[in-house]
Amino acid sequence: MKFGMVAGEASGDLLAALLLDGLHQRWPDLSAVGIGGPQMAGCGFEAWWPHHKLSVHGYGWEVLRRYREIFNIREQLKVRLLRQPPNLFIGVDAPDFNLDLEAALKARDIKTVHFVSPSVWAWRPERIKKIRSSVDHVLCIFPFEPALLAQHGIAATYVGHPLANVIPMEPDRAAARKTLGLAVEDQVVAILPGSRKSEISHLASRFFRTALRLQQQRPALQFVVPAAPGLRSEIELAARNSALTRNLQIIEGQAHTVLAACDVTLIASGTATLEAALFKRPMVIAYHMAWWSWQIMRRKRLQPWVGLPNILCEEFVVPELLQEAAEPDALSDAVLSWLDAPEKVAALQRRFLHLHRQLQRNTPELATHAIEQVLQG
């Protein structure tokens, strides 16, 4: 059994690796090839290109600058897969890249599955036609998605969110703090400025200037930054430029350890916000992009929220500060509002516990069963 796979960034790499574990249980001799990262490689995946080659942020100039490179990668990958067709192709998130590729493969009678439904319920509803023409089946990570897709004739299965099984219901804060060399009584702020270089360029400086303001008000605060692979030097430069040098740890990876250890996190909008919710941590969500990209994004939004915890809870359970609102004074005030409100934090943790239970399923088993049905169809 041979599968083609594409995961386009760190979150997709993690999701694909969790899926591969389940697929190997069903097909021990399975080989998987395509585009992926280190987590997938640890499951025996053969990466023809590294996943960070597909990482792009926003719209406008950055997309145009990278378009030719990414287009050429997709064309080369398509040729290789058509030359030696896999039994099935799985696109893991990265819909801008994967849906066109899936459409080309499906047209040549290769079965296609898309893991993580594009968020047509949040923005870009025009994608629904592309999904229908590109994929045989969608593996959904949120419970409301299969019914929505079924309305448009798209077969889908709710498989739960893989991270809900990886992250414990009751994270061990004491053990995480011991790992990071933090005291039990410390107040700890986790800073997660994103997993893409472009996100770091837009957010890291804002986050560190926020941390400096917080430190001026609370000198004992500890700050920990889990740097995504390959981005540590950019993050360290942003920290130096902000003059934040005291009570700061910048470490390679270990985002889950940092989230388990912290009291609150200042975090870029994205998959990491759901991870923070599963760790039952209060957060302040921020995002900033180029002006033109923001104008396009704003017009395509269908909901008032951008953060996954707020979308899933259908209300602003945590603050979102976007674009010009994401400035240090407002961000620091929002962080302090969590540190000074233990009852509010406790209520949020109960809400996140309920969300965690909703998302917890045997994802590898459910996904593997759905894929098996596609292969037999």
In a domain? residue 167: no
Please report, for residues 90, 213, 322, the alpha-carbon distance to residue 325 in angstroms, rounded to integers and kept in the order given: 38, 16, 5
pLDDT for res 63: 60
Distance CA 275, CA 265 (A): 11
Q: Give residue 35's domain range.
A: 2-160+361-376
Percent of the chain scored above 70 by pLDDT?
Answer: 92
Residues 367, 340 within the same domain: no
**Residue 165 within any structural domain of the chain:** no
Taking the C-alpha atoms of residue 50 and residue 37, their distance in angstroms, rounded to an integer, is 6
Has residue 183 been placed in a domain? Answer: yes
| In a domain? residue 168 | no
**According to the model, what pLDDT value does residue 305 have?**
75
d(CA 187, CA 39): 31
Question: Are 246 and 211 spatial neighbours (Cβ–Cβ below 8 Å)?
Answer: no
CATH number at residue 328: 3.40.50.2000
Based on the structure, what is the number of domains in the chain? 2
Domain membership of residue 256 (yes or no) is: yes
pLDDT digits (tens, 9 = 90+) for 106-127: 999 999 999 999 887 666 778 8
Angle CA(317)–CA(221)–CA(287) in degrees, nearest 5? 40
- Banded model confidence at residue 332, pLDDT cuts 50, 70, 90: very high
Structure tokens of 256?
Answer: 């889950």
Mean pLDDT of 225-244: 88
Pair (57, 197) in one structural domain:
no
Quickly count helices (H) and strands (E) in the chain: 17, 13
120 with 181, same domain?
A: no
Q: What is the pLDDT of residue 201?
A: 80
pLDDT of residue 196: 79
Instruction: Tokens 């270990």: give the residue.
Output: 254
Cα–Cα dist 290/194, whole Å: 15
- Rounded mean pLDDT of 314-324? 91
Is 193 in the same domain as 266? yes
First to last CA, the chain: 16
Whether residues 346 and 216 share a domain: the answer is yes
Cα distance between residue 81 and residue 78, in whole Å? 5
Q: Are residues 81 and 202 in the same domain?
A: no
* Mean pLDDT for the stretch of residues 336-352: 97
Q: What is the Cα gyration radius of the chain?
A: 21
Q: How many Cβ atoms sit within 10 Å of the Cβ of residue 135?
A: 29
Instruction: Provide the CA 273 distance to its chain's centre, in angstroms.
Output: 8
For the chain, give the mean pLDDT: 90
pLDDT at 355: 97
pLDDT at 341 over 60: yes
68 with 134, same domain: the answer is: yes
Q: Is the pLDDT of residue 32 over 80?
A: yes
The answer to the question of residue 99 being in a domain is yes
94 is a domain residue: yes
- 7 and 156 in a single domain? The answer is yes
Checking if the pLDDT of 160 tops 80, the result is yes
What's CA 245's distance to the chain center, in Å? 29
**Is residue 166 situated within a structural domain?**
no
**131 and 59 within one domain:** yes
pLDDT tens-digit readout, 186-201: 999 999 998 777 788 8
Together in a domain, 141 and 11:
yes
For residues 118 and 224, state if they share a domain: no
Q: Are residues 148 and 9 in the same domain?
A: yes
Closest alpha carbon to 86 in 39, 139, 31, 133: 31
Over residues 20-37, the mean pLDDT reads 95
